[in-house]
Amino acid sequence: APDGLSGNEDCGQMSAWYVLSALGFYPVTPGSDLYAIGSPLFPEATLHLENGNSFRIVANGASATHKYIHSARLNGADYRYTYLRHADLMAGGVLELEMAATPGAWGMQPGDEPLSRIDEAPIVCTPVIQQADPAFYDSTIVVLTNLTEGARIYYTLDGSVPDTNSLLCRQALVLRESAELRAFAFHPEWGSSPVISASYFRIPERREIELSTEYAPQYAAGGDGALIDFRRGGSDFRTGQWQGYEGVDLDAVVDLGASKPLQRLALGCLQDENAWIFMPLRVRFYASDDGQEFRELGVVENEISPRQHGAVIRDFQLPVNTTARYLRVKAENRGLCPDFHKGAGGKAWIFVDEIVLE
């Protein structure tokens, strides 16, 4: 795109693919060091490589009608293969092609084509974790799925690195306490897979929450209970622990189940202006004994500038001395991105991770 499009890396990627094809070679298989040789669009082109070497491609007779390769020479020697290795390019040299209007016999013999099989030992796949709630009240079920036939899964629950002396997974795991799960698959001939990990947290006390405004489904953070699961988010809003509200306020009521003394209330918030996420303008806290009549406990104003770059985490906290069963939290969204912002006029986000009641 002439002026550039934020986040649109496809334009540059597709342009690079076209340049490679126009030069006469292309990386067909990602991760391979082989480039398939094609039909250059230019009679001659030179690559000036970062290591100081140059690689020249000469296509004698190349035109819209002369697009078939009849013969090839690499650094002066006859070259029968229909591919180049990355090392050939980086070493520098000359690839000379003789182009013709009709197909020839070049590259048609067995072995002239790129290798299309995997000769290395099979890969042992990392186990897949399924059917598990990361935060739970009583228990959660964790299913570890083995993707490699003949392999076994070993795991630990204390965060230590597992080995073949660790617990052997024979069935679904039922967790009744917080755990740091780490697991890997081991095959007696092919070796070990990478280790996969996941955290599970047993919520110490049961609470209920009612949301009067809707969060964005792509930033659900696990659903309605995300704000009372005792799990805090980090500096990256994409990790799945932040609940996002686009253009609307947060309005939530938490039921503690019984009246309890409270000394501190807080709402955890994230700002990342580059992602159109801003701190709430203010957060209001209310309390009630019956869930119907609420009294305001206080207001906490925002002190973070919307111009501040990078990720910023802040607890909007209010010291209190009260007893209540129901707590209401209202976080005021600024509505639209500020005039100075690249998204000016677009809907602003607020991201929250936890309603803290102590």
| Tens of pLDDT, residues 48-91 | 999 999 999 999 999 999 999 999 999 999 999 999 999 999 99
Identify the structural domains of the chain with CATH numbers, from first to last. 9-100 (3.30.2080.10), 128-202 (2.60.40), 208-357 (2.60.120.260)
- The pLDDT mean for the chain works out to 93
300 has pLDDT over 90: yes
Tens digits of per-residue pLDDT, 183-223?
Answer: 999 999 999 999 999 999 998 888 999 999 999 999 999 89
Separation of CA 77 from chain center: 47
Give the per-residue pLDDT at 304.
Answer: 97
1 has pLDDT over 50: no
